[in-house]
Each structure stands twice: as structure tokens, then as C-alpha cells.
Structure 1
Amino acid sequence: MEKVYREFVEHFNDLNEVRAEKGLPALPLPSKAAMRAEIRKLAPYHVDAGRRGVSFAKKKYAYIQGKHDPEWPLQLVEMDEWQVSLQTLLQGNPVWEGLGITAKKRLDEEVGRMQLSAAIDVRTKCILAMQLARTATTDLAIATLKMAMTDKSDIAKVAGCDHPWDMAGRIQMVRVDNGPAYVAGAFSTAAIDAGIAVDYAVAGAPYLRGSIERVFSSFHTGVISLFEGRTFTNVVEKGDYEAEARASLTIEELGRALVRWVVDVYHNTPHEGLGGQTPRNCWLSLRKKVGVPLSPNEDAMRACFGITVERDLRSEGIQLYCNKYQSPELQSVRREFRLRKKLRVRFDPDDLGYISVETPKGWLKVPCTVQEMHGIPLEVHVENRQCMLARYGEEAARSAPIVNKALADLRRLADESRARRGIASPVFTATNLAHLDAHFSDDRVRVDEAFDGDILGLDEPDDVGVAGDPEAAGETTTSLVRDTMPFLGDDDDDDDFEYVLED
């Protein structure tokens, strides 16, 4: 106001000089108090628009009608991504580093900022999901949406929480922005398949997702600010503070810190938006009063959020990362239909016990031929395979005693995996799944009838004695072709016979 008044006085004096040249009397100069009074009469919207821009004023004075406020849990969930304002030591599981799943962008890159994908229930203000990753992708968004509908108490237990993280259920609507991770068809398809409506907020209007935007700010002040290596919004605030040099937390430690703060601190702190009630108490009271929609079952979760790959259907079924999946219904497809291309397969990276296969008859649920794979995550399967091959080698790993030990180790690794599970676990994408495909197809060995080779990754030939060499198979090839022929039907076409030999 002082500046405005000085400029006004200068302009007023120039005006009176012009009037004096014309012989007109001078106008009386208004006082500073009068100027202040006039300024205070201006509309706040116009003041902010003039000082900080129209865009700022629109966001500040935007409003949401009360009829859009949800009335029960999971009626409306907001999702977004946030670049964590903390430099983190980029150290991951050495197995996954070796496979390129969590490889650094540059060989000399040791620290960096993580992307946090999160989901919040607007009615109760409970955080339903968090996922940490190097980059924000559609796969990360889908994994977060899936996590929001599952019980996360095991993650809370690993982080040392005193309370469970049991907020979960079927979401009615998810509100997101127009970022590339959400506008991709894969995200909307997964949501719609799960019966979730997707609401895309207007671009440039973060106030339409106010709950998730505010909670990211709370993350920074509540937990991130406690650690060395935090970043700043501008160079003035940063000063001489070297965030990269002060980085002290690994990705896993950051994940545990975020979970501990959310479950034990944020969920149990009175929330202004809930009239002073804590998010956890609000969830519990509404769950008792109006209920919470049940989460989809395992088969529905795999069908909606599973990773999709393409595989051939052969006499031994579907092979996925050295595991075979077989069922009578699946083999009937080979007998009844002439398949000209690979079939689409969906699997849950958290449980390799079953897969879903898209066939001309529709989607089929197919079990793994190895019972021990039920409940085993892909992460554990890969680690077990790496350990066995490194310890025994490909040839030695075919013996029955080692196979039995592998199955026992697999179950132990699964228990250990659950004991260290966190929000920084690998999020599988098309790129790193391609790495896995190449990795699992590296080693091929001779067929051993005493051992199927599913667990250890011994990817044996499908219908011949020696991979890629039918003549070297001798009588084995002939017997396999003869045993397979009844499944080919009565068609006189030789294409099927050649297909068996080629495979």
C-alpha cells in the first residue's frame, strides 16, 4: 500500500501541474488513510489476481459443493504421485539389481529422489496405499490401486507398527489427474474391470483432489523433514545445504519410515477435516455403522490387476518363468480349436499358484503343476532360482535331493519375503518383465524324465529329446509324437505334426 500511495502522489502531482498550465485550480490530495480504505474495498479475488496472477486466484477461491462429499468409506478415493522431497541412497536387492529390475539410470548414480504413488479415502482421510518407485508409470499406478483394496497389515508389521493397516475394500470411484500414468488405457481398463469408476479431474485444478494434495504436504512436514538429505523448493531456501551429500536413508528404510508414520502417527492424529476425529476412529466407526464393501477375491484381483503376457499353449500346458500350468479344461482348448497365435495370460506377481488364460472359451483359471508354488511371489521365485543355480549349477540342480531342498528353500524364502515386505518392493513393468523373460530363457538343458525342472528354471524342450535337434532325440522324438497325436484330432492336415516337431 505504501508503494501504491507513492506512485499515486507522483501521478497526482503531474495531474495538478497540467491543470495549473490550463489555469485550473489544484485538486486536493487524498490522504494515505483514504487510499488504504479504498484498497480494502477491493474484492479479495481481484487483489490476489493482480498480485499473484489469475491462475492463483482461481485455485485459491475455487469451491466444491457439499453434495460431492462422500458419505461412506471407499465411495471416493483420490490418487496421485509425489516426488519425495528427500535424497535417497539408491540401494536395492542385489538379485534385482543384477537382473536390471532396479538398475540405476547411470552407473555413477548413487542417490536420487523417489516417486511416491498414494491413495487416500476422502471420507475417512485414511491412507489406503503407498508405493515407492524410481519413476512414475502406469504399472505403478495400477499396483497402487490394487494395494488400496488389500489388507496391508503384514507391511505394517514389518515396519514395526503398533496398529494394523487394515483399511481395504472395493472402491466405488477413484479420482485422478490427467497425468500420463492415469490416462493410459491400461489403468482405466484395470479400474473398470474391477468395477471402479474413474473420475479425471480438470487439468490445472489440484483443489479438486485436495485430500491427496494436503497429505503429501503432511508427509514432508511430518516425516521427511526429520531426516538429512531433504530437498527445498528453491535455491534461496536451500542455501548451502547439499542434499545429495547428506543422503542417509536407503529406499527400504524410507519405505518403512513412511509406513510407520502413516499407520501409527497420521491415522491416530485428530484431523481437522473430520471435526477432530482421527482417521482410524472414523474408519472403524463408519465400518460398524454403514459397513465397508468387501475386497475382490484372489481370482478377480488377478483378472483385473494381473500382469498380461503372451504364451504358447502346448502339450504340457502354459509355461511361465519355468513353471508349468496345466488343467483338463486348458487341454480341451487344444483339441477343439486350431490356435494360430499365442494366448494372453494374466498372473499375479504376489502369487504364482494360478494364472488366468484367455481362450476361445473365455478366461480359464489354471493351477501350477507344482503345489508348492501356491502363495509364492514372483520375487521369491526369482531369488530362489538365482540361489540354486549359483550354488549347484544347472546340471547338478536336476537331482531329486536338490529339488526337494529347493522346494523347502522356496517356502522359507516366501516366509522371509513376507517378513521384509514393504512399499519399496519391485513394481513389475513391461521393460523389466522382458529382462525376466530373457533371463529365464538363458539356460536350456537336456530332458530328465525323473525331474520336471519347474522350480529351478531348467527350461527343458517341450516335445523332443534335445532342444532344437529332433534327429538327435532318436526314439524319444518318435514316442513323444505318437503320444501327442491323439490330441491333434482326426484332421489330415500335417501342420499340427510339424508344429510338434518344431517345438
Structure 2
Amino acid sequence: MDADNPSNGVLIPCLMTHHGPGIYYRSADPESIAFAHSEALRYMDNRKKSKAQVYQDYLAKLFEMNSSPDSQLKKVSRTKFESIIDGFDEYAKVAGRHGEAYAKRRLSSVKRSFHFEVPGDRIEMDFWNVELMSLFVETGMWSLLPESYRSQIGSTRIWFAAAIDVSTRYVLAFKASTNPNAANAVEAIRMIMSDKTHISTALGCETPWIGRLRPRQIYCDNGKEFVSQRTQEVLRNARIAFTRPPAGEPQARPFIERLFKTIGPMVAHHFDGRTFGSIQEKGDYNPEERLSLQSDELIKFFLFAICDIYHNKKHAGLADGTPHNAWVKATSRYPIDVAPDEEEMLHIFGEKVSRRISSYGVSFMGIPYSNDELTRLRLKHGQTDFEIKYDPANLRSIAVYAGKDKGWFSVENQIGLDDNVSLEEWIVARQQLRLANAKESESGLAAMYRAISKLRTSGDAAMIRAKLGARSLDSNALARLEAELCGSWIAKPDDQMQGLEALASLPGDLKLSDESAFVEYQTVQKKEIAAAKRAAKSERLEPRTNNTDTDLQTETSVSRSGYYDEF
């Protein structure tokens, strides 16, 4: 066996992990599992061998491999071997054994079994538990890791949260966490309703991640992350119906269960073991930092596969269609519930903290917020704490609670932050600036803007803003960061300020795969801002002829006073 390549160059185009009931693979070593996966692939060819025959072929090949003194692979049992085959994508198995035409005819009934044609009518969400070692082995990435890293992985696990639109099989959210909780579920719900094109652009995907809407109904299990008070509050505020199938019945939400078994084969088969960056090139880190880094690399790897492979691959449940094409066609044919605007997002996802109004107004993470209404509150109530809401994804405005009579009202920042500056982006820029030049970090806002713009031009801002990593920031950690990074510092505009570098926005060439150009994709509620962003583009999308902006607005706008009282 080659010491530098413990899997003998064998690439595993299938991802199987221990997720709930099923076979556990740790009884065999990583190299043996990798070899079994590669041999199990032989089930998907036109020789149409039975599982038993493929297993016998595997045993013969295993004997041949172990005839060399340098190779001593362990045997995988027939039960385990067949469970690997069972995990392959159904369309890939039928098409490989009987041809694509037969697969389309046979599996078209799957699409008819769930009568959801309008995007957003049924969104399925779930958390997927993955052991890192198994994930690396079964995607062919194990051989890329240095020995020192392999010995440190142990039994570390990561949870992936995903959301899929049943009518189109389009993935609307995909996030990682080290422990599923309400915060992770809320972030995934937000991702469903957020623009994700900057993520696909930053990852270098050829197909933009265009899916975005307000779900009409979300289906998920009875996990604590979904039934928590915080998650339920967000769903109520967003006016999204919530359904939990009976416990122990994953067949009641079959599409998200199948998604987790489908992405893995695409990752390894199409990428040929390549990751976005070799771990050896990242330098020497302690074990925790290495594992954190690798989880970040993994989520990028999967997102790349979702955007450029899964969304463009013929799907068993779509007959002859792909999720990308199905999404484009369905959103042009049916009216959808458009995603909330920035102000409503603040009230849906806003995190509550207490702040005192000063002469600067209200300060949060060193950002001053002020307006006339806030000034009147200070003059009337003096040095009193008020409840505020901030949106971690958009620091442009906060909401202040003025009591039961007046409810919540919005207050904009006084330093010119746009809609695209997230809390994480602001924190990272502040940290980098303080490390680089503590004196400049206290002198004004220009240096902060330069730091944020540098993040954006490097592409790091898109990853930070998307919160793709497995780490999360709780209220206690945020309070410590605010005290450490900001203290009494309040950002002030100065004469040297320049505008922020713009994040990638919705591209102007959305198309059906290998087909004609797609006309206007989705209603943008703030038309003036959207028009300004598109003005710089050489090509502008034409409006739809069969649906107007009014047609797509399925819910009436909520008045300012009445809306705030709901939260």
C-alpha cells in the first residue's frame, strides 16, 4: 500500500453516514470501507448483476488485493455491502442498469405521488448528523489528509441543516453546525428567504444559487431545534405554517431524507477527490482549529456540489427535469410568496437586547443609531433602558420598542452602512483592524470601511455573511466581543471615508440549462435600490409577460403601525 495514498487511489463516489437506524461502519478501517464502496458501484452498470453477484465479485477482488503483502484490507459483511448499494441514488441505479429512458418512465410516478406544483407550498427541513472520519473516507477525501490530522479527528461529528422545495427538488438552505439548536434552525429558515447568489459567486459556481421565497408551509421532525420557542416565534412572525409528521415516520418527509443520500455520490464522483484547498497548505494549527477549518471547507465543498451538480442533474422525482430548470419554470408559471423586505426581516429574525439612549442615540457594536423619535424618547424618559432588536444579517437599522402604545419603530445607522453589512462581517473587520493597527482603529470609520471592502474584494465577506461555518455566536459570546472590541468606542464618519465595495448581486443572465434565457426572475420589493444595482450591468432582465409584480404579491402589505404591534 502506498503510504501517501492509503486508499490506493480509489475514489468513493458515494456518501453513506450513520444517520439514525442503519449500519454503523466503524467496525472496518477507513481504507477497507473505501474499497468496498468502490466495488459496490459495479451494481450500477448494464450487466445488471444482482447484489449477491456484485458482493461475490467484491470478495474475489478483495482476495486479489490482499495477495500483496503491502495490502491487508478487511472484509465488509454482505449486509453492510448491500446497505451501501441501497444508499445510491435511485435514478442513478435504474438508469445505470436499464438506461435513462426506462428510468424516466419508471420513476415519473414519484413526482405524481406528491401533488405540490407551486414553489413554497411544501418545504422540507431536517438535520443530518455526520461523523467526520466516515465523511472523509466515503467521499474519497481521506487520502488527502495528513496522518497527523487523521489521528486527531476521532469521533468528531457535524450536523448539516438543509431545506428543499418539494415541487422542484431545489435546495433552498444548507448550513453546518456542531450541535443542532434553535439558532441553527432559525438561520436555515432565514437562508430559505435570503439572496444566495453572492455565495455561489464567491465559490466560483457556474450556476447561480437563485432560490429564494417565503415558504407557505415547512415540514420537519420533532427535534428540539424545531419545536423550540425561538424557532416557533420566527415562524409565527414570518407567517409560515409549520407541520410535524408523526415521530418515527421519515417517509412523511421523504425528499429531505433522500437529499442527504444523493449529494454524497455527486461530490466525490464529479470532483475526483479535490477540495477547495489542501489542508497541508493551511499550516500547523491546534486540533480544534484544524477541525473547525475542515468543517468550513466541507460546507463549501457541498455547496459547490449542490449549485453546479445537484441542481443540474436529472432527478428521479422530476422525470426528465433538473431542479434548476424546474425552479426557473415553476417560478415563472406560478405566483410565489416573495421574500420579506429588509424591515420585515429585522422584525422576524431580530435578536433582542437592552440599550440606553445617549446623546449618540443607541449604540450597538460601536455603531450609532439615531432619529427624531429616538431623541423624543430620551427627552421624555431620560436615562432609561429600552429593548431593541438587531438583525445579525443586516446592521443598517435596528428596531426600538417604545411601549405598548407605539410598539416597535425602526432607527437607521448614522455612519452610512448599507444593507449588506452583517454582524459577523463587522466583527471580523474590527478584529483585523485592531490587530493590524490599534491606533487607527480608534481614529474613525474610514479604516473600518477599508477593512470591510478588503474582505469583500477577497471574497471572504460572502462566506462570513453566509455564516457557512459550524460555529455560532450566542448572546454571552456577543457581549464579551462587544466589550473587548468596542468598549466605549463609537464609530464616527470622517473626511477620508470611501464607499463600501459592493457584494455580488443577482446576475442578469439567469437561464434554463441548455435552453432559452429566462425572463425576470423574482419581484424585488425595493425597486429603486434594485434598479440602481442593475444600472451598472451591461444587460438588464426584461419583465415577465405572464405575471406582473402585482400578481406575485400573494399577501397584502402590512401597515407600519399595525405590523410593529405584532412583534
> Scaled by the length of structure 2, what TM-score is found?
0.56
Where do 5+ consecutive residues of structure 2 fail to align? 1-109, 137-151, 274-290, 495-567
Pair 1:312–1:406, CA change in 2 (3 A): same
Structure 1 CA distance for aligned equivalents of residues 157 and 196 of structure 2: 24
Alpha-carbon distance change, 183 to 425 in structure 1, aligned in 2, over 3 angstroms: same
Q: Distance in 2 between the 1:355 and 1:248 partners?
A: 31
Matching residue of 1:365: 410
* Counterpart position of 1:302: 346
- Kindly indicate whether the alpha-carbon contact (under 8 Å) linking 1:303 and 1:356 is maintained by their aligned counterparts in 2: yes
- Deviation per CA, 1:382-428: give whole Å up to 9, x if none: 1222223223336x64446xx53333333333444335458653578
Instruction: Write the letter of the residue equivalent to 1:380.
Output: E
Structure-1 residue corresponding to 2:446: 404
Quick one: which of 375, 391, 398 aligns to 1:355?
Answer: 398
* Bigger Cα Rg: 1
For the 8 Å contact 1:126–1:279, the answer to whether it is kept is yes
Asked if 1:72 is matched to 2:114, the reply is: no
Q: Which whole-Å CA distance do the structure 2 matches of 1:418 and 1:336 have between them?
A: 41
1:272-322 alpha-carbon deviations (Å, 9 max, x no partner) = 112231111111111121133211101111210222222223332222112
Cα drift, residue 208 of structure 1: 0.7
Residue 145 (structure 1) shift: 0.6
Measured after TM superposition, the shift of residue 189 of structure 1 is 1.0
Q: 1:171 aligns with which of 215, 223, 244?
A: 215
Q: Percent sequence identity over matched residues?
A: 26
SS of residue matched to 2:207 = coil
**Against the structure 1 CA distance between its residues 170 and 219, is the aligned structure 2 distance closer, same or farther, given a 3 Å change threshold?**
same
Alignment partner for residue 253 of structure 2, among 209, 212, 216?
209
Q: 1:313 is matched with which residue? A: 357
Deviation at 1:248, TM superposition (A): 12
Q: Given the superposition, is the C-alpha separation of residues 281 and 350 from structure 1 closer, same or farther in structure 2, using an over 3 Å criterion? A: same
The superposition leaves residues 308-364 of structure 1 with CA deviations (integer Å, 9 ceiling, x where unpaired) of 222223332222112121111122223345786x43322222221211222212111
CA distance in 2, matches of 1:227, 1:111: 25
Alpha-carbon distance between aligned partners in 1 of 2:292 and 2:216, rounded to the nearest angstrom: 40
Q: Which of 463, 477, 495 lines up with 1:435 in the alignment? A: 477
Alignment match, 1:250: 294
* Letter of the structure 2 residue corresponding to residue 170 of structure 1: R
1:290 correspondence with 2:334: yes
Q: Distance in 2 between matches of 1:125 and 1:389?
A: 45
Of 189, 193, 203, the residue aligned with 2:237 is 193
8 A Cα contact 1:172 1:196, kept in partner: yes
Kept in 2: contact 1:355–1:366 (CA 8 A): yes
275 and 377 in structure 1: CA distance in 2 versus 1, 3 angstrom threshold: same
Cα 1:110–1:160 change in 2 (3 A) is farther
Work out the CA distance in 2 between the residues paired with 1:343 and 1:151. Answer: 32
Change (3 A) 1:442 1:259: closer
Alignment-mate amino acid for residue 476 of structure 2: A
Equivalent residue number for residue 55 of structure 1: none
How far apart are 1:220 and its partner, in Å? 2.9
> Which of residues 174, 181, 196 in structure 1 aligns to 2:225?
181
In the alignment, the residues of structure 1 paired with residue 371 and residue 480 of structure 2 have an alpha-carbon distance, to the nearest angstrom, of: 26
Equivalent residues of 2:177, 2:471 under 8 A apart: no
Secondary structure of residue in 1 paired with 2:437: helix
Deviation at 1:156, TM superposition (A): 1.1
Asked if the contact 2:111–2:317 (Cα under 8 Å) also holds between the matched residues in 1, the reply is: no
Contact 1:76 1:172 in 2 (8 A): yes
What is the letter of the counterpart of residue 407 of structure 2?
G
Q: CA separation in 2, counterparts of 1:133 and 1:428?
A: 6
Contact 1:174 1:197 in 2 (8 A): yes
Contact 1:85 1:113 in 2 (8 A): yes
Relative distance call for 1:143 and 1:419 in structure 2 (3 A) is closer
1:249 is displaced (CA, Å) by 8.1
**Counterpart residue type for residue 375 of structure 1:** N
1:275 aligns with 2:319: yes
Contact (CA 8 Å) 2:217, 2:240: kept in 1 or not? yes
Aligned to 1:413: 455
Counterpart check, 1:162 vs 2:206 = yes
- Identify the match of residue 390 of structure 1 among 416, 435, 442: 435
Report the Cα distance in structure 2 between the residues aligned to 1:446 and 1:222, rounded to whole angstroms: 50
Q: CA RMSD in A?
A: 3.5
Partner of 1:47: none
Residue identity opposite 2:122 in structure 1:
L
| Distance verdict in 2 for CA 1:289–1:339, change over 3 Å | same
Partner residue of 2:176 out of 132, 149, 162: 132
Q: For the residues of structure 2 that align with 1:68 and 1:333, how far apart are their CA atoms?
A: 54
Count of residue pairs brought into register by the alignment: 351
SS at match of 1:129: strand
CA distance, structure 2, for counterparts of residue 304 and residue 121 of structure 1: 21
Contact persistence 1:85–1:220 (CA under 8 A): no
Secondary structure of 1:114's aligned partner: strand
8 Å contact from structure 2 (residues 425, 465) kept in 1? no
Q: Which secondary structure state, in structure 2, belongs to the residue aligned with residue 250 of structure 1?
A: helix
**Which residue matches 1:377?**
422
Distance 1:428 1:314, change over 3 A: farther
- Given residue 144 of structure 1, which amino acid in structure 2 is its aligned partner? A
CA 1:373/1:286 → structure 2, altered by over 3 Å: closer, same or farther?
closer
1:195/1:67 Cα in 2 relative to 1: closer, same or farther (>3 Å)? farther
**Amino acid of the residue matched to residue 366 of structure 1?**
V
Distance 1:268 1:445 in 2: 49
Change beyond 3 A, Cα 1:160–1:413: closer
Which secondary structure state, in structure 2, belongs to the residue aligned with residue 291 of structure 1? coil
Contact 1:155 1:421 in 2 (8 A): no
SS at match of 1:140: helix
- The whole-number CA distance in structure 2 between the counterparts of 1:391 and 1:249 is 22
What is the alpha-carbon distance in structure 2 between the residues aligned to residue 376 and residue 281 of structure 1?
32
